[in-house]
Amino acid sequence: MSSTAEEDGIMLEDVIKDLRSANEKAIEALRRDLSKVRTGRAHAGMLDSIRVDYYGVPTPLSQMATVSVPEPRLITVKPWEQSQTKAVEKAIREGELGLNPQTDGVLIRIPIPALTEDRRKEMVKLTKRSGEDCKVAIRKNRRDANEMIDAFDKDGKVSGDDAERTKKKVEDMIAEATKQVDTIIASKEKEILEV
């Protein structure tokens, strides 16, 4: 029983949709990773990975405090429950960013120290590594899509011409995703190296 041309198109479109979705997920994961990379400038997203012990439950900081950036090198955190100020301060201090919060009992001020030249170079390397990891994920997505197209072609579910056209579309999508990764990495490097 052979499939109709319409069914062939649907199968190949599913491959393209899956590839698009997988690439978007890889790029979103890269953006999330890079938001944690410290630059010399303060931004509220720096504290997204901070979890506060809230009555024994690790709770995201954003769910228990207002985080703002009043100056380029200062973050302020105002816990909604004043009784949690010490716990919030402790979580920030013990976090992986190496920050040194100061509190007046109500408001927590977090000065963001300027990065040293060595630390900037280290951050750029980390950024490039994250970009490379993302590109590896994107290449894996291409391999998976091409294997699926080849399987459809081999089983006679799609014509050779349709398979080749879809593979060309896959290559174009991979080139676009790789270009997007390069742009994101270049932008982050520029932000890190900005003094």
Three-class SS string for 68-97?
EEEECCEEEEEECCHHHHHHHHHHHHHCCC
Per-residue pLDDT for 36 more than 80? no
> What CATH number belongs to 44-111?
3.30.1360.40
- Candidate CATH numbers 3.40.50.300, 2.60.15.10, 2.60.120.480, 1.10.132.20; the one for domain 5-36+117-193: 1.10.132.20
Main-chain dihedrals φ then ψ at residue 115, nearest 5 degrees: -80, 140
pLDDT at 2: 47
pTM of the entire predicted model: 0.70
Helix (H, G, I), strand (E, B) or coil at 101: coil
Q: pLDDT category, 9, cuts 50, 70, 90?
A: low
Torsion of CA 145, 148, 150, 156, to 10 degrees: -140
Domain ranges, ordered by start, for the chain = 5-36+117-193, 44-111
pLDDT of residue 1: 38
100 phi/psi in degrees, rounded to 5: -120, 85
At residue 79 the predicted structure's pLDDT band, cuts being 50, 70 and 90, is very high
Beta-sheet strands, E only, within the chain: 51-54, 57-60, 65-71, 74-79, 102-103, 108-111
Lowest mean pLDDT among 19-23, 124-128, 182-186: 124-128
Mean pLDDT of 85-107: 86
